[in-house]
Amino acid sequence: MIEEAIKKNKIPGAVALIAKDNKIIYKKAFGIKDPETGAKFQTDDIFRIASMTKAITSLGVVMLWERGLIPSLDYPIANYIREFKGVEVLDKFNKADSTFVTKPVNKKITIRNLLTHTSGMGYDIIGSPPMRAIIHKEKQKFMKNSCIAFSDEDITIGETIRRIAKLPLELQPGIRYNYSNSIDVLGYLIEIVSGKTLDQFFKDEIFTPLEMNDTYFYLPEEKASRLVKVLVREDEKWTPYQAVYYNINYPIAGAKKFFSGGAGLSSTAEDYFKFLSIFLNDGRYNGKQIIGKMTNKLLQLDQMDFVTSNKHKGSGHGLISRIIREKDLFKGISGSEGSIRGGGYFNTQYFADPNEKVIGILMKQTRNTYEFTSQKFTHLVFGSVVE
């Protein structure tokens, strides 16, 4: 399937990994990753995983809660980040100059709201036009050319979150799912509660125990050459992607101080397999208990009907990732109830099924391709599952 997509020029290449019963049963690289040099994809290539970072950050929050360092997931975030105390909701927006009128919130934003994207916050790069404009106008005051996901500037995530916390919400908290910058807020929460930078917390509590030796916010110099270029198809040719609002080389450039919990990490297919494997093994990896068994079961439960006031009609979402619910199976979605899944801005994808003990990871590094290899990959993997 992947080779066929390459022949049809749908993608330049990819790295695919499939695991069953805790063992990698398939790992293969396909295609050309650098059209200028002709270099081929390698299975240990490092990819910008973007929003696949979110599950790792969310796990970090759950770990702190499990240890009692966060008393309740239903605590207001304003208890930790005071700038959220005066937050209001967007009421009217003037697109001519990005000015706006707000109204009071009906309830406080909780940590659980942030984990499940029900906080009412917007997103700066892929959100609605009003919220993109409002956040962009504020960012211009302290950022030169960055988005809240990818930055090479001399600024911290804490400085950024304290500023956007003063901006209006797009929706009332708890109304419905609204994909947002909320996980970046949680990355800053981890820094506050743990007393460590998010980078150091991940290294100490997740990457080192899981032996994720190729996962970073900013790659060390000796591994920089393994970072795959982001490509875009122009006139049927693959060329390096030129980002407008950020430096596409952010994992290897700049001040290296901005730790985005929402989208900042780069990783390999095998490293991300190690991360996902704990959810299929009662919270353990290689005999090490990363999270408790009961906590791990909690992560497989849909939260949406609990946290939203309106009847939720979209995909399920747990405390760390999207979740397959029983009613999703009738739509033809592959996987068992309780499976987690997600992806990233540069076309990376993962799923993990605790019932079938199956993990699938497909790593690409493209923009604006509008192709369906990720969906086909999922269907092919689950269509091949045997006892």
Please identify every stretch of the chain with a pLDDT value under 50, giving residue numbers as ranges.
Answer: none
Does residue 342 sit in the same domain as residue 216?
A: yes
Does residue 27 sit in the same domain as residue 112?
A: no
Q: What is the pLDDT of residue 103?
A: 96
Is 331 among the domain residues? no
Does residue 209 sit in the same domain as residue 348?
A: yes
CA distance 351 to 383: 14
Does residue 237 sit in the same domain as residue 306?
A: yes
Contacts 24+ apart (CB under 8 A), 130-133: 130/90, 130/93, 130/95, 130/100, 130/170, 131/90, 131/170, 133/93, 133/95, 133/98
Is 327 among the domain residues? no
Is 330 among the domain residues? no
Q: What is the pLDDT of residue 126?
A: 86
Domain count, the chain: 2
Is 350 among the domain residues? yes
Read off the CATH number of the domain in which 265 is found: 3.40.710.10
Cα dihedral angle (167, 201, 343, 368), rounded to 10 degrees? Answer: 60
Location of structure tokens 């330049």:
12
Q: What is the pLDDT of residue 254?
A: 92
Q: What is the pTM of this model?
A: 0.95
Q: What is the pLDDT of residue 147?
A: 84
The whole domain housing 90 covers 56-195
Is 258 among the domain residues? yes
Does residue 104 sit in the same domain as residue 131?
A: yes
Q: What is the pLDDT of residue 387?
A: 61
Q: What is the pLDDT of residue 125?
A: 82
